C-alpha cells in the first residue's frame, strides 16, 4: 500500500510540474509587480514592464510581440528549453519576438523599463500571386 501511495504521489507531482510549465502563463499573473497592462482590445495588448535591479519573473508566455526599450539595462532570459542569453538593452532599442515561453531577471545595476506590444491576431496567410 505504501508503494502504491508513493507511486501515485510521484506521478501527481510529475504531472503538476509538467502541466504547470507547459501551460502558457500570463506575465501579469506571474509577475504582477513587474507587468502592468496599459491597453487591451481584440487585436493587441500593450504592457509596461519595469524590472528593478535584481527583479525576476518566473516562466511565462507571450504571443508574437514587439518590445521597445524605454530605459536600458541588462536582462538574463531563460527559455523553456533551458537556454539562457544575456541581453544588453539600450534605450530606444526595438525588438521583435515570435511567440515564446521564458523567464527573465534584471542582472544589471539599473532599472529596466520596456513597452511590450502583444499581437492577438494570427499571422496573415500569404496571398498567392496570380
In terms of residue numbers, what domain contains 38? 25-119
What pLDDT, in 10s, does the model give residues 114-128? 999 999 987 677 777
CATH number for the domain including 48? Answer: 2.60.120.10
Asked if residue 72 belongs to a domain, the reply is yes
Asked if residue 40 belongs to a domain, the reply is yes
Asked if residue 98 belongs to a domain, the reply is yes
What pLDDT, in 10s, does the model give residues 9-48? 333 333 333 334 445 699 999 999 999 999 999 999 999 9
Alpha helices in 1-130 (DSSP H): 2-22, 27-30
Q: Return d(Cα 5, Cα 15) in angstroms, integer.
A: 15
Asked if residue 38 belongs to a domain, the reply is yes
Domains in the chain: how many in total?
Answer: 1
User: Quick check: 68 pLDDT over 80?
Assistant: yes
Pick from 1-5, 31-35, 66-70: least confident:
1-5
Asked if residue 12 belongs to a domain, the reply is no
Amino acid at each position: 500500500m505504501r508503494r502504491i501511495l508513493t507511486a501515485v504521489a510521484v506521478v501527481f507531482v510529475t504531472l503538476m510540474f509538467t502541466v504547470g510549465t507547459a501551460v502558457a502563463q500570463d506575465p501579469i499573473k506571474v509577475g504582477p509587480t513587474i507587468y502592468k497592462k496599459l491597453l487591451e482590445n481584440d487585436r493587441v495588448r500593450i504592457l509596461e514592464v519595469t524590472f528593478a535591479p535584481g527583479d525576476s519573473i518566473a516562466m511565462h508566455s507571450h504571443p508574437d510581440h514587439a518590445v521597445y526599450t524605454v530605459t536600458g539595462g541588462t536582462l538574463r532570459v531563460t527559455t523553456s528549453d533551458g537556454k539562457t542569453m544575456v541581453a544588453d538593452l539600450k534605450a530606444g532599442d526595438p525588438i521583435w519576438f515570435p511567440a515564446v515561453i521564458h523567464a527573465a531577471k534584471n542582472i544589471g545595476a539599473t532599472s529596466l523599463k520596456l513597452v511590450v506590444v502583444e499581437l492577438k491576431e494570427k499571422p496573415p496567410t500569404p496571398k498567392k500571386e496570380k
